[in-house]
Amino acid sequence: MISLQHIKSPKPEDLPSELEGLRMTKQRREVLAIILGERDHPTANDVYVRAQNRMPTISLATVYNCLEALVSHHIVRQVNFERESSRYCPNLEDHCHFQDEESGIIHDVIFKKGVKLEDFLELPQGTEINHLEISLKGRIGSE
């Protein structure tokens, strides 16, 4: 896959016309560019509001459809915190999400170098992990 991880604020028109077997329509490129542009884990509604700057006629339903297509083709990741709207993350590398309860900001948290899940979880023998979703909440210290 073309690595989108390190592209900062791409223009929708610079994104490929196909990604992971998904035809990238104008709307899908717009939505993806928004998610890659400001990596603050926006909700569908946030994406919708931002998309309206360039595409005033885009509907919330279209945004939802685009997000669903991007998620099912593993181009972006859907992040769920209990009872809250889903959020979207363009970081496809293994990572967890930490939500600062005070600001509501969601941070990407990576594993310490060399640490594997098997090192700190009592998994049944032979377990193969295919999907990682760890969401943490708390406060960030001031030090």
Q: Please report, as ranges, the residues that interact with Zn ion according to CB under 5 A.
A: 89, 91, 108
Which CB atom, from 20 or from 108, has the smaller least distance to Zn ion?
A: 108
The minimum distance between CB 129 and Zn ion, in angstroms, equals: 18
Which CB atom, from 78 or from 91, has the smaller least distance to Zn ion?
A: 91
The minimum distance between CB 91 and Zn ion, in angstroms, equals: 4
Q: In this structure, what token pair is assigned to residue 18?
A: 């196909």
Burial class (CB in 10 A: 0-12, 13-18, 19+), 85: exposed
Query: If you ran DSSP here, which 8-state letter would residue 12 be given?
Result: G
Q: What b/e string do you get for 12-29 counting C-beta neighbours within 10 Å, with b at 16 or more?
A: beebeeebeeeebeebbb
Q: What is the sign of the dihedral through the CA atoms of 78, 40, 120 and 74?
A: positive
The minimum distance between CB 106 and Zn ion, in angstroms, equals: 7
The minimum distance between CB 35 and Zn ion, in angstroms, equals: 10
Which CB atom, from 25 or from 91, has the smaller least distance to Zn ion?
A: 91
Which CB atom, from 25 or from 135, has the smaller least distance to Zn ion?
A: 135
